């Protein structure tokens, strides 16, 4: 089990807020860490999307219509089947945020919104 050291001032605040919201310190820490990890995952995804957009001209030449996986700004795998690609990437990298996207004519995905229904523009 992971053990961490919390600064005394932070520990005091945690204990005070735990009493105020009627939760344990552990619950507050787990919720906060979970939210922060989600934030980091979103940032990584944004970085991978930017990398995909930069790589798009080369990807389009070689992989148009294929699915590509981008991790740490690099192409790590491709497949014509998104499901197969996902399974390979998940097996190799686990629960790491990796962009999987189909290579199309343009690098960005466009969506049309119709009321509460959403469909991908073709």
User: Does residue 31 lie within any of the structural domains?
Assistant: yes
Does 84 fall in a domain? Answer: yes
What length does the chain have?
122
β-strand partners of 114: 117
| Residue 46 placed within a domain | yes
Name the residue with tokens 């945690």. 14
Q: Say yes or no to pLDDT of 76 above 60.
A: yes
Q: Can you give the pLDDT at residue 33?
A: 95
Domain that includes residue 96, residue range:
8-120
Q: How many domains does the chain have?
A: 1
Residue pLDDT, tens place only, 18-63: 999 999 999 999 999 999 999 999 999 999 999 999 999 999 999 9
Give the per-residue pLDDT at 117.
53
Alpha carbon distance 93, 85 (integer Å) = 12
- The predicted model gives 84-99 an average pLDDT of 95
User: Are 25 and 40 in contact, with CB atoms under 8 Å apart?
Assistant: no
Whole-angstrom Cα distance, residue 15 to residue 113? 46
Query: Rounded distance, CA 92 to CA 85, Å?
Result: 11
3 lies in a domain? Answer: no
- Domain contains 15: yes
- Of the pLDDT bands very low, low, confident and very high (cuts 50, 70, 90), residue 83 is very high
Backbone φ and ψ of 87, nearest 5°: -65, -40
Question: What is the C-alpha to C-alpha distance for residues 78 and 66, in angstroms, rounded to an integer?
Answer: 7
């Amino acid at each position: 089990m992971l053990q961490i050291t919390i600064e005394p001032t932070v520990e005091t605040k945690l204990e005070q807020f735990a009493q105020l919201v009627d939760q344990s310190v552990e619950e507050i820490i787990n919720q906060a860490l979970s939210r922060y990890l989600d934030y980091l995952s979103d940032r990584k995804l944004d970085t991978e999307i930017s990398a995909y957009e930069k790589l798009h001209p080369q990807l389009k030449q070689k992989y148009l219509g294929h699915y590509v996986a981008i991790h740490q700004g690099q192409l790590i795998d491709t497949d014509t089947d998104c499901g197969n690609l996902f399974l390979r990437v998940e097996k190799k990298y686990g629960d790491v945020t990796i962009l999987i996207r189909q290579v199309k004519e343009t690098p960005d995905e466009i969506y049309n919104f119709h009321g509460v229904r959403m469909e991908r523009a073709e």
